[in-house]
Chain A
Amino acid sequence: MTAANADLSPLIHLVDDDDAVRNSLALLISTIGLRVQTWADPLAFSTQFDRQGIGAVVLDVRMPGIGGLALLAQLVEQGVDHPIVLLTGHGTVDMCRRAFKAGAAEFLEKPVDDELLLETLQAAVRQHVRARQQRQADRDAQQRFAELSPRERQVLALIVQGLSNKDMARVLELSPRTVEVHRANLFAKLQVPSLAHLVRRYASLAEMDAPPAA
């Protein structure tokens, strides 16, 4: 039931062994314009679904072969970052607790109301997009950080600590002029417009790096 939209639009993976439930839920989800891919076999899903794409996963708890809770744990362990929504016919408090502990994004009871299901899925997709963006930003920052020279990393660590140019010159036994040059290079290489941006985005990377010579 894959809609013919652009491949970049979010895709919901619906995993349920009951044909009727799967088809009607897919129809319902498609009414708000989300693309749906349905899976009757949980094992086929876990080996074949597109892990790079943006979207969310809906798992039925009671399925032959592998239960929704076990599959959830397996996906999380494999580093799947899709938000996973669990669906169950008779949820207990204990099952609910276990689901959230295993990393479920949401836990819904059958029969599920359309508003609740659609809102949950939209929220899940938004969350996934945000998480992917964050990851991309982190990856970019890491790449730029790797291009810094050792001296520039030292200067960055001291900036994060809050030292002035003068103090840095004394600590690094350089002239204030040289420190000023390193500082300008730093801002250029890391592509940050201000000191505040620099500290916010790179403080953790600088601290994870070798401790500054102080």
Chain B
Amino acid sequence: MAPWWLAWLVLGAAGCVWLAQQRLQQLHDSFDTDARIAHRVLSQRMVQHEAILATLVLLQPESRATEPAPWSALTRPYPQVREVLRHDHGAPAWPAGWPPGMDAALAQSRASGHAVLAPSNLTGGQLYLVQAATPASFALRLDLRTTALADDWPLSPGSPVHAWLALDGQRYTIQGAAENAARWQWQSAKTLAATSQPLVLHMQQAVRAAMLPWGSMLGWLAGSAALLTALRQLLRQRVARRRAEQLLQLGQVARLNTLGELAAGMAHELNQPLTAVLASSQAAQRLLAEDAPDMPLLRQALAQVVAQARRASDVVTRLRRLVERPDAAMQSSAIDLPQAVIDALHLLEPQLSAHKVHLHPQFAPGLPAARADAVALQQILHNLLTNALQAMDTTPVGERQLWITLTHQGAQLLLTVRDSGPGIAPDMRPRLFTPFATGRDRGLGLGLTLSQSLAEAMGASLQLHDAGPGACFALRLPVHNTR
């Protein structure tokens, strides 16, 4: 019992771990892909900002209070560009709303020749990028939210991924919320590939129990349990069958043993008088060969022969009485014959399929119960079927057939077992039921003898049936009388 539970636990756990690992791996891969795409998209935007500034600086469009602004054609495809500011050289101040560090950034840009990001509060979601030039410098106000959440942003609005941008200790959350409680999480942090805007894109996703494939795991547990149960059932069936077969064979061996002991006892009991008979008669022969036979001695020898022959005969009579003891009768009961045949076939199932025997059972419907001893009947059936199987050893595989018929004939039930083997050799026929007569090399020649005496002991009969080709045996059993 315990090993099966253990096997199920191990098998179930291994399957669940594998399934969970597959799912997590898949999710992790998709997280990695999203992070890579998000980084590429944002980096491209930042480079675009530099390109816009470079174009403005080159074209130097005038700042007019007309609508639309002269650069609107340039900035319209980029909704994240919220404001463009032309800053003429020497202009004293920046308009309200622009951060105080613009002058420092402008000076820095003038020194380096590149666009420079003015320090600002990142949490507000605005970036201020300036490019110094003459006669006028240009600056852009950029909206981070619009920058990120464009069509090509990889994360869906409901995604469990938390994404944010960080610069100089400040952070701007693009989507999702930070989850500090998560014990296990995937993370990615990459600096955007634009020298003027060195923001770091952070992405984080917590690994949650809900992500595991619970459905498949439960399915696997149930499936493996069902599989193991079926396997166990199969094994148990096989063991039961083997045990039943052994019991049957054991019964036969026990009978043979009793037979053997009987034979040994009989041999000793008979040997003594036979020894005396032989010795006395040979002594008589020798006395007769003499010229003048000693008549009294001769008479004595012959009297001895007669007495000892009688003694031997008494031994045989006593023995027969012993064997035919009435209390050794079998226990007759009502037997469902078709079921008994099916049981016997079930026992031999492995051999039948190993020999590739084609079965033809023909049971007449509505058969009455038979009167028989259940164990003896099983032994007879087993013997007949085994004989039939062994008779077909040399038969080509495709032609191995076994016909079993059950019919009702008056007060009797007739069971026939016919095989497609070579049949019984004519010289074997008269000796078929004689002990120790066998057609097989390894046979003991007791199977049919035993079967016949078992059949006769329970009021049945076993005969060779002339219904060739192949050997056919007929077992006639009395119908069980219900009264």
Contacts and interface: CB of A to CB of B under 8 A. Distances in A.
Interface of A: 18, 20-21, 23-25, 27-28, 30-32, 62, 89-90, 110-114, 117
A113 B280 CA distance: 11
B279 A25 contact: yes
A18 B282 contact: no
B48 interface: no
Nearest to B278: A111
Interface stretch (B100-108, B179-187, B264-272): B264-272
Interface of B: 264, 267-268, 271-280, 282-283, 285-287, 297, 300-301, 304, 307-308, 311
Contact of B287 (A31, A110, A111, A117): A31
A24 B377 CA distance: 49
A21 B307 CA distance: 12
A120 to B, nearest CB: 14
B304 A20 contact: yes
Sort A-B residue pairs by CB-CB distance and give the 7 closest, nearest first.
A89-B271, A114-B282, A24-B279, A24-B280, A20-B276, A31-B286, A111-B275
Contacts of A20: 272-273, 276, 304, 307-308, 311
Given A112-B278, A113-B278, A27 B273 contact: no
B307 A28 contact: no
Interface centre among A20, A89, A112 (most CB of B within 10 A): A20
A117 B304 CA distance: 19
B272 A110 contact: yes
Given A20-B308, A90-B271, A111-B271, 6 more contacts: A21-B272, A23-B276, A24-B301, A111-B274, A114-B279, A114-B282
Contact of A111 (B268, B279, B297, B300): B279
Nearest to A23: B304
A110 B271 contact: yes
A42 B308 CA distance: 23
Contacts of A31: 283, 286-287
Nearest to B290: A31
Contacts, number: 76
A112 B279 CA distance: 7
Nearest to A19: B276
A112 B276 CA distance: 9
A21 B278 CA distance: 10
Nearest to B289: A31
Contacts of B275: 21, 24-25, 89, 110-112
Contacts of B301: 24, 27
Contacts of B273: 20
Nearest to B268: A89
B308 A27 contact: no
27 contacts: A20-B273, A21-B276, A21-B279, A23-B304, A24-B279, A24-B301, A25-B275, A25-B279, A27-B280, A27-B300, A28-B279, A28-B280, A28-B282, A31-B283, A31-B286, A32-B286, A89-B267, A89-B268, A90-B264, A90-B268, A110-B275, A111-B271, A111-B275, A112-B278, A113-B282, A114-B278, A114-B279
Nearest to A112: B275
A90 B264 CA distance: 8
Given A27-B297, A27-B300, A114 B286 contact: yes
B276 A24 contact: yes
Contacts of A30: 283
Contacts of B283: 24, 27-28, 30-31, 114
A154 B45 CA distance: 134
A111 to B, nearest CB: 4
A163 B311 CA distance: 74
B253 to A, nearest CB: 20
A99 to B, nearest CB: 17
Contacts of A114: 278-279, 282-283, 285-286
Contacts of A90: 264, 267-268, 271
A31 B281 CA distance: 12
Contacts of A32: 286
Contacts of B308: 20, 24
A114 B275 CA distance: 10
Quick one: which of B271, B276, B304 has the most chain A CB within 10 A? B276
A25 B301 CA distance: 10
Nearest to A17: B272
B228 to A, nearest CB: 52
Given A23-B304, A24-B308, A89 B272 contact: yes
A64 to B, nearest CB: 13
B139 to A, nearest CB: 119
Nearest to A117: B279
B468 to A, nearest CB: 42
B277 A111 contact: yes
A23 B276 CA distance: 8
A18 B276 contact: yes
Nearest to A25: B279
